[in-house]
């Protein structure tokens, strides 16, 4: 049976090729997203635990130094013997040495000579190796400016007259990274009482073994005197690589808890308390990773559906073409069960071949998958044995599921009818309407909500609790809406394709009438031929509509979200880059000078100074003012033309000509009924003339509450010319900055570094700091370098969607091609007879293309409408959920940039390729094969 199945696959390789390709794509995608999911999960877990450097903290029960140093040594030694613990080390701290608003007293920390923390101390000058009474100091701090390597610092430790004197020699300057800062508990910045300047907190790091151990002994010897100015803890580090798994968080928590219990028991025997630090972050991460798994599964369904559909369609045609073979096997004594098992063996072989090829492709494309899905290539990410086995099993199951129903029907075929050789099955039974009507109704309900921009979460925010019955209705509708968020558009497409057969026929006939000009009256046969099997027609239309609609939805959502994130980042920064003073406030004159100098740089297209301040408009209202240079602001700042009322050139010319003009926040103007040409009083001292309005009118929704009290709070900005501030310097106090617009293709990070080198006292912020993502940043795209676990998962999900559209497009192309080819193959004798009767190659090609192409175009029209409606609805929903000022100023919108349009057109091109390639192949008729076909017809 096995050898016969191999022979059948080899003999009918053209039919099985599309089935194998479909399964291969599904296997490649399945293996690829699992590799990417492992990588994303690990990145997300690392991000979740980034601020948890110590896994378990042990501290004396009574606080301070309430146990002898031997207890610290004993705890460290015994804890290191616990399975799963990679390291344990004591850390000392002088807790009295840091007081708020007193920069002259530094932190003093002590670590072991072989501490893992030395990996997180970057040497700036001097040396890191510590001996007795030696220390290193953190770079950039106040003490680092005053004490250089070789200088000494004297301290007296202790309280109430009991003192321990120590002289520390500074031997080096080090830079503490985030892990060191979090582990040592060092505040990253020290602020002066005025808050006008800041420096990294001064921190001396000494040796526990050679310097701090005598201090511990002395403080413990002070019996009867409780001094908590000196403290010490034991930091325990677990083998995270072995214990923690992003996709088995529950098991990870169990293992960590078991180790913590063992460590806690040892700690209790030595007078220590145990504080586990991993359990809570892992519990938080568990729900996030579950949603990642769920989203990966949901958004992979279209690709797997196409593979199943291709397999089912090809199998139906294949078994129909093998009618005589099946009849002969039955006459030789094969039972229905034996035939069915034989067909399943063929399915398993196809699944193994497709799965093996898909696995090989997944291995070859592994770096690409990791790069696309996680944003960066990690050499440690690879296709594991578990993933490979799961991929093969998945492919086998999908293949058997696709072939099962056609195989069952073929095995129960009547032998007498089977021996009649090939008969084209005209499946004229109409599709079942009940399920289609339900799907169409639910989908239409969701489409209407998307068109209207209705969001039940936003409605419930204001109406819930006002009326009980209304609240119940809203809850029911919200639950239904939540369930339809993803499947609603697909249900609409399914119902529409099942119920619109008549419309599809009319569209097909209209297209055929047009194609008559190319191929003649023979084109009218196309509509009659294709609708001999209406079920296959509806399935083909749904397949194309599903993939095209899915692609437009996903790509449109990604483009819309990317556009929204970039614009929001530009609003937060004010432009591509923002330059401000590191310590204190930047003088407006110096800001103007810096902007003037930066405008001369070749990689900068604009730079402008800006002065931000808050003034009083009335006794109860404050107004946010931006004093700008009307001549250079539009070249250096980010803005959108519709933010300003009236002609924007006229507005800025008026600002330039009239130093007492103001572009007033529209929300303030609407609330106080201030008209253009009116006057506003600033600080009850100077009157300004309103020449235009800026931003949206938020006066009716600002600071609104779900019910009851609400009040108006200005959130927007107003603009005045900077000349007014320079003329009245005593009226305003605020912050000056410089906004910089980068040239096209310029890296924001590189430009920021260049500005920092040119102006060491200035701080440069970029839109990169406000936008989630990874990778290099240039002036036509923004991404962030530091991500939270939520951002990693969110970006990974978006990348899965992007990759899914590629595979869905390829699978749909194969699906359309398979349906078209099997249809042409089933009717090979009919088309051969047409060729014999004088139909030219051009006419034959036109006839075959006319059969399938109108269906694809009809499906694309339907998919485009649904896809655009869904993208627009998602944009409106997000805008209603985030009614802050920046989202009102630059709401999410429907955009299709060049890359998005190219992707969609490429997918449509693949669908058309699935139409033309089989038609070109089927239209070519070999003379010898034609003679044989006619002879046996």
Task: Share the mean pLDDT of the chain.
Answer: 79
Say if strands 134-138 and 203-207 run parallel, antiparallel, or are unpaired.
antiparallel
Q: How many other β-carbons are positioned within 10 Å of the β-carbon of residue 839?
A: 21
Task: Please give the Cα distance from 21 to 907 (Å, whole number).
Answer: 17
**Residue 639: per-residue pLDDT:** 93
- Residue 781's beta-bridge partner residues? 778
Backbone CA torsion sign across 537, 541, 547, 548: positive
Where do the H-state alpha helices sit in 412-455?
Answer: 415-418, 433-452
Tokens 């129909």 belong to residue = 320
Where do the H-state alpha helices sit in 322-432?
Answer: 323-331, 336-364, 366-374, 385-411, 415-418
Q: How many other β-carbons are positioned within 10 Å of the β-carbon of residue 523?
A: 23
Tens digits of per-residue pLDDT, 43-95?
777 777 877 889 999 999 887 788 888 899 999 999 999 999 999 999 998 86
Q: Do residues 536 and 501 touch, judged by C-beta distance below 8 A?
A: no
Banded pLDDT at 727 (limits 50, 70, 90): confident
Task: Please give the Cα distance from 127 to 135 (Å, whole number).
Answer: 10
Task: Please give the Cα distance from 425 to 613 (Å, whole number).
Answer: 79
**Residue 690: per-residue pLDDT:** 92
Tens digits of per-residue pLDDT, 81-111?
999 999 999 999 886 543 343 445 677 899 9
288-303 mean pLDDT: 72
525's tokens = 């046969």
Task: Please give the Cα distance from 384 to 371 (Å, whole number).
Answer: 17
Tens digits of per-residue pLDDT, 755-771?
988 887 788 888 877 66
562-572 mean pLDDT: 89
Residue 644 has pLDDT above 90, yes or no: yes
Banded pLDDT at 790 (limits 50, 70, 90): low
Order of strands, sheet of 622-628, starting from the edge strand that comes earlier in the sequence: 679-682, 686-694, 661-665, 718-721, 622-628, 604-616, 734-742, 577-581, 762-766
Most confident of 246-260, 323-337, 513-527: 246-260
Task: Please give the Cα distance from 892 to 884 (Å, whole number).
Answer: 12
Q: Do residues 488 and 477 touch, judged by C-beta distance below 8 A?
A: no
**Residue 236: per-residue pLDDT:** 94
Banded pLDDT at 207 (limits 50, 70, 90): very high
Q: Do residues 348 and 341 touch, judged by C-beta distance below 8 A?
A: no
197-217 mean pLDDT: 81
12's tokens = 């009918």
Q: Bigger pLDDT: 707 or 751?
A: 751
Task: Please give the Cα distance from 807 to 810 (Å, whole number).
Answer: 5
Phi, psi of 465 (to 5 degrees): 100, -15
Domain ranges of the chain: 1-52+287-423, 54-240, 577-743
Q: Which of the residue ranges 166-175, 363-372, 659-668 would you say has the lowest mean pLDDT?
A: 363-372
User: Which DSSP category does 530 fall into?
Assistant: H
Q: Do residues 179 and 120 touch, judged by C-beta distance below 8 A?
A: yes
**Residue 95: per-residue pLDDT:** 62
Most confident of 138-142, 600-604, 931-935: 600-604
Residue 241 has pLDDT above 90, yes or no: no
894's tokens = 């429907």
Banded pLDDT at 505 (limits 50, 70, 90): confident
Banded pLDDT at 616 (limits 50, 70, 90): confident
Q: Do residues 127 and 120 touch, judged by C-beta distance below 8 A?
A: no
396-404 mean pLDDT: 88
**Residue 261: per-residue pLDDT:** 92
**Residue 494: per-residue pLDDT:** 84
Percent of the chain exceeding pLDDT 90 equals 16
Banded pLDDT at 226 (limits 50, 70, 90): low
Residue 323 has pLDDT above 70, yes or no: yes
CA 412, chain centre distance (Å) = 50
**Residue 375: per-residue pLDDT:** 53
Residue 834 has pLDDT above 70, yes or no: yes
Tens digits of per-residue pLDDT, 742-752?
998 888 888 98
From residue 780, alpha-carbon distances to 62, 494, 642, 700, 775 in Å are 58, 39, 21, 35, 13
Q: Bigger pLDDT: 718 or 140?
A: 718
Residue 193 has pLDDT above 50, yes or no: no
**Residue 705: per-residue pLDDT:** 47
**Residue 661: per-residue pLDDT:** 92
267's tokens = 């700690």
**Residue 687: per-residue pLDDT:** 87
Backbone CA torsion sign across 83, 85, 90, 95: negative
Judged by DSSP in three states, 636 sits in helix
**Residue 408: per-residue pLDDT:** 87
Residue 919 has pLDDT above 50, yes or no: yes
Contacts of 864 (CB under 8 A, 6+ apart): 548, 549, 552
Q: Do residues 172 and 128 touch, judged by C-beta distance below 8 A?
A: yes
904-931 mean pLDDT: 77
**Residue 876: per-residue pLDDT:** 86
Q: Do residues 60 and 272 touch, judged by C-beta distance below 8 A?
A: yes
Q: Bigger pLDDT: 565 or 223?
A: 565
CA 318, chain centre distance (Å) = 42
Residue 189 has pLDDT above 60, yes or no: no
User: Nearest to residue 445, comparing CAs of 472, 473, 501, 483?
Assistant: 483
Instruction: Specify the DSSP element, H or E, that contains 720.
Output: strand 718-721
Q: Bigger pLDDT: 688 or 539?
A: 688
Q: Bigger pLDDT: 198 or 289?
A: 289
Task: Please give the Cα distance from 864 to 793 (Å, whole number).
Answer: 29
């Amino acid at each position: 049976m096995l050898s016969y199945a191999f022979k059948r696959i080899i003999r009918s390789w053209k039919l099985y090729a599309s089935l194998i390709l479909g399964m291969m794509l599904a296997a490649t995608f399945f293996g690829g997203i699992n590799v990417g999911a492992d990588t994303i999960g690990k990145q997300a877990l690392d991000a979740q635990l980034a601020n948890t450097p110590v896994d378990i903290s042990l501290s004396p029960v009574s606080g301070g130094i309430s146990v002898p140093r031997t207890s610290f040594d004993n705890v460290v030694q015994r804890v290191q013997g616990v399975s799963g613990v990679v390291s344990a080390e004591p850390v000392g701290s002088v807790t009295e040495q840091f007081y708020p608003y007193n920069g002259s007293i530094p932190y003093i920390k002590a670590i072991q000579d072989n501490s893992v923390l030395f990996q997180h101390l970057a040497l700036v000058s001097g040396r890191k190796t510590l001996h007795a009474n030696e220390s290193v100091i953190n770079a950039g701090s106040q003490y680092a400016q005053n004490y250089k390597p070789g200088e000494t610092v004297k301290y007296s430790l202790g309280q109430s007259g009991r003192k321990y004197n120590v002289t520390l020699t500074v031997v080096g300057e080090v830079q503490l990274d985030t892990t060191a800062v979090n582990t040592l508990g060092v505040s990253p910045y020290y602020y002066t009482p005025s808050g006008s300047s800041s420096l990294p907190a001064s921190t001396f790091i000494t040796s526990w073994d050679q310097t701090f151990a005598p201090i511990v002994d002395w403080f413990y010897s002070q019996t009867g005197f409780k001094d908590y100015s000196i403290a010490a803890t034991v930091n325990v580090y677990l083998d995270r690589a072995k214990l923690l798994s992003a996709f088995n968080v529950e098991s990870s928590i169990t293992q960590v808890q078991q180790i913590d219990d063992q460590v806690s028991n040892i700690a209790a025997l030595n007078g220590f308390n145990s504080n586990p630090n991993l359990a809570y972050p892992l519990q938080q991460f568990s729900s996030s990773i579950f949603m990642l798994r769920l989203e990966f599964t949901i958004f992979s369904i279209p690709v797997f559906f196409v593979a199943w559909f291709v397999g089912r369609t090809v199998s139906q045609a294949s078994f129909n073409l093998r009618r005589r073979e099946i009849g002969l096997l039955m006459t030789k004594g094969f039972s229905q069960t034996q035939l069915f098992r034989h067909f399943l063996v063929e399915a398993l072989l196809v699944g193994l071949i497709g799965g093996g090829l898909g696995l090989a492709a997944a291995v070859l494309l592994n770096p690409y998958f990791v790069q696309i899905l996680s944003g960066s290539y990690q050499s440690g990410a690879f296709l594991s044995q578990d993933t490979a086995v799961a991929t093969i099993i998945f492919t086998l199951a999908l293949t058997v599921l696709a072939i099962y129903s056609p195989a069952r029907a073929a095995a129960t075929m009547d032998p007498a009818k089977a021996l009649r050789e090939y008969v084209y099955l005209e499946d004229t039974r109409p599709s079942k309407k009940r399920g289609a009507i339900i799907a169409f109704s639910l989908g239409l309900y969701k489409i209407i909500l998307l068109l209207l921009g209705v969001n039940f979460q936003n409605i419930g925010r204001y109406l819930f609790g006002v009326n009980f019955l209304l609240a119940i209705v809203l809850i029911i509708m919200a639950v239904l809406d939540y369930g339809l968020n993803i499947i609603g558009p697909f249900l609409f497409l399914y119902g529409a394709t099942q119920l619109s057969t008549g419309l599809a026929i009319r569209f097909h006939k209209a297209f055929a009438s047009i194609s008559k000009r190319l191929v003649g009256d023979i084109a009218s046969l196309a509509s009659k031929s294709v609708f001999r099997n209406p079920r296959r027609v509806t399935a083909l239309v749904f397949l194309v509509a599903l993939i095209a609609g899915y692609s437009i939805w996903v790509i449109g959502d990604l483009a819309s979200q990317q556009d929204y994130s970039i614009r929001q980042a530009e609003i937060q920064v004010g432009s591509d880059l923002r330059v401000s003073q590191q310590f204190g406030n930047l003088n407006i004159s110096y800001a103007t000078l810096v902007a003037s100098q930066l405008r001369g740089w070749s990689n900068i297209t604009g730079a402008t100074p800006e002065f931000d301040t808050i003034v009083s408009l009335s006794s109860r209202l404050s107004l946010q003012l931006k004093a700008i240079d009307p001549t250079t602001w539009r070249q250096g700042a980010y803005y959108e033309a519709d933010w300003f009322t009236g002609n924007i050139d006229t507005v800025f010319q008026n600002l330039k000509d009239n130093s007492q003009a103001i572009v007033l926040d529209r929300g303030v103007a609407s609330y106080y009924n201030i008209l253009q040409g009116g006057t506003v009083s600033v600080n009850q001292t100077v009157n300004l003339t309103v020449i235009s309005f800026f931003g949206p009118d938020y006066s009716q929704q600002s600071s609104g509450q779900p019910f009851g009290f609400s009040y108006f709070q200005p959130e927007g900005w107003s603009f005045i010319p900077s000349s007014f501030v320079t003329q009245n310097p005593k009226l305003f106090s605020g912050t000056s900055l410089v906004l910089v617009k980068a040239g096209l293709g310029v890296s924001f990070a590189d430009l920021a570094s260049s500005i920092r080198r040119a102006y060491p006292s200035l701080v440069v912020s970029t839109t990169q700091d406000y936008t989630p993502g990874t990778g290099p940043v240039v002036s036509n795209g923004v991404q962030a370098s530091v991500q939270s676990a939520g951002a990693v998962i969110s970006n990974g999900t978006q990348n899965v969607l992007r990759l899914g559209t590629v595979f869905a497009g390829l699978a749909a192309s194969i699906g359309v091609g398979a349906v078209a080819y099997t249809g042409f193959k089933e009717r090979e004798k009919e088309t051969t007879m047409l060729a014999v009767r004088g139909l030219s190659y051009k006419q034959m090609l036109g006839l075959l293309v006319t059969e399938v192409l109108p269906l694809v175009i009809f499906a694309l029209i339907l998919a485009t409408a649904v896809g655009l409606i869904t993208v627009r609805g998602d944009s409106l929903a997000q805008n209603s959920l985030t009614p802050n000022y920046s989202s009102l100023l630059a709401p999410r919108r429907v955009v299709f940039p060049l890359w998005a349009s190219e992707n969609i057109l490429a997918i449509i091109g693949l669908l058309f390729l699935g139409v033309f390639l089989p038609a070109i192949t089927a239209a070519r008729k070999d003379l010898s094969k034609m003679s044989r076909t006619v002879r046996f017809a």
